[in-house]
Amino acid sequence: MQKSFIMFCALLCFMFVLAAKGFAAETSPAWPREITLGGTVAGEYRWMKHSDITDKNSDATSDLYLRTVELSLEAAIADWINAGVTVNSEWIGDDVNQGDEKLTLDEAVISLRKEGLPVYLIVGKRTQPFGVFENYLVTDPMTQDAYETKRVGVTLGYNRPFMDLDASVTIYKGEEMMAHLFDSGLFDSDNISRVSDPAGDDTGSYILNITVTPLPEHLNLSASYLSEPGNGNRNDSLSIAADYSCLFMEGLTFNAEYIAALKREKYQDAASTVLSKSFREKVFSFSAAYNVMDTVDVALRYEHLDDDSLTGSTGAWSVKDRYSAGVGYSFYTDETSGVNAFLAAEYRRTEIRVDSASGMDDSNDEFYTRLGVNF
């Protein structure tokens, strides 16, 4: 069934390319039609109450580093062909996240999309369409920490004007979402790990995504389903999200996202003993932001991780609740050139599930400030 599904997607892609070839004769502009350059440079300061969350007696620590250095190029080859490349380097000078000064290929995408044609095709490395990860603060939401899936893939989509309906199928190779989950820092991945499993060389991972906008410019709803191969069982996840811009109070926006594991492979403990059950985690994120004036925004966010009794069953630890509050100030904006310089700050408190004998504190406090320029 999996091979039939992939063959079906390949056939649809082939049909799309055949249809798109007919558009090439409509216009033959000088190449390229348009090239756009952009980027971001952002420096960040971080203070943490505990430098090591596994040790409640660890001292406070602070860091100063470059959070992001990013350069992007987008080229409009024709009115239905676009290509984009983004390179970046993150966490430069930060020992916690082990950043370095090497530029890496963050995204490289070719998209075929013709106005008036309901189908489109996107090929390349990008954050694939699972989860929304709307963010009004300095730090990323827990949903993004756990489930962002950046991989080379092929997306075949269908878009209609009615409620701005967009439905797509994406296929990719590997177990990127699960790797991201175990690197998220949301649970004790030093003592809980995946069982080593050669998952095979087939392109066996896929995402189904749909978005609709029932109230234009006010309400957007989305749902996505992701499935990856695993050890003895596929790892399936479901995301449901809503973005709402208040009809009655301009500048007030809300976002909610819920991501749940539907199926999970079994994990192993520090002694390489396979655990008796599979743990299906769930993450919920809710945020609100208000544009106080053109240049100032304030935001709040609450997040919760349900670890499906992982901590109680294994003696490991996991994040339970996270509370964030922040403010952002754009002190220079040039709409013509697209340049924006900003200063942002965030206070974050994380409450942790811990075993009483673990020697850990059950919470940690952090403070972030960021100075950045988008151009």
Helix (H, G, I), strand (E, B) or coil at 146: helix
Contact 65, 44 (CB under 8 A): yes
Examine residue 17 and state whether it is found in any structural domain, yes or no.
no
- The H-assigned helical ranges of 190-325 are 310-314
As a whole-number percent, the residues of the chain with pLDDT over 90 amount to 74
Examine residue 18 and state whether it is found in any structural domain, yes or no.
no
Examine residue 267 and state whether it is found in any structural domain, yes or no.
yes
Contact 69, 87 (CB under 8 A): no
Which residues contact residue 154 at a Cβ distance below 8 angstroms, ignoring those fewer than 6 apart? 9, 13, 121, 122, 123, 170, 171, 172
Range of the domain at 164: 115-374
When the pLDDT of each residue in the chain is averaged and rounded to a whole number, the result is 89
255: nearest Cα among 285, 283, 282, 225: 285
pLDDT at residue 350 tops 50: yes
Output the pLDDT for position 30.
52
> How far is the CA of 128 from the CAs of 151, 270, 296, in angstroms?
7, 32, 31
Examine residue 85 and state whether it is found in any structural domain, yes or no.
no
Domains contained in the chain, number? 1
Output the pLDDT for position 232.
84
Examine residue 247 and state whether it is found in any structural domain, yes or no.
yes
Please count the other Cβ atoms lying within 10 Å of the Cβ belonging to residue 37. 10
Read off the CATH number of the domain in which 349 is found: 2.40.160.10
> Mean pLDDT lowest for which of 20-29, 75-84, 124-133, 191-200?
20-29
Examine residue 61 and state whether it is found in any structural domain, yes or no.
no
Examine residue 119 and state whether it is found in any structural domain, yes or no.
yes
Q: For residues 371 and 354, which has the higher predicted lDDT (pLDDT)?
A: 371
Output the pLDDT for position 358.
64
The rounded distance, in Å, linking the Cα atoms of 245 and 47 is 32
Please count the other Cβ atoms lying within 10 Å of the Cβ belonging to residue 217. 8
Tens-digit pLDDT profile for residues 125-145: 999 999 999 999 999 999 999
Q: Which residue has the tokens 């701005």?
A: 164
Examine residue 197 and state whether it is found in any structural domain, yes or no.
yes
Tens-digit pLDDT profile for residues 49-95: 988 887 778 889 999 999 999 999 999 999 899 999 999 999 999 98
The string over 250-263, giving b where at least 16 C-beta atoms fall within 10 Å of a residue's C-beta and e elsewhere, is eeebebbbbbbbee
pTM listed for this prediction:
0.89
pLDDT at residue 22 tops 60: no
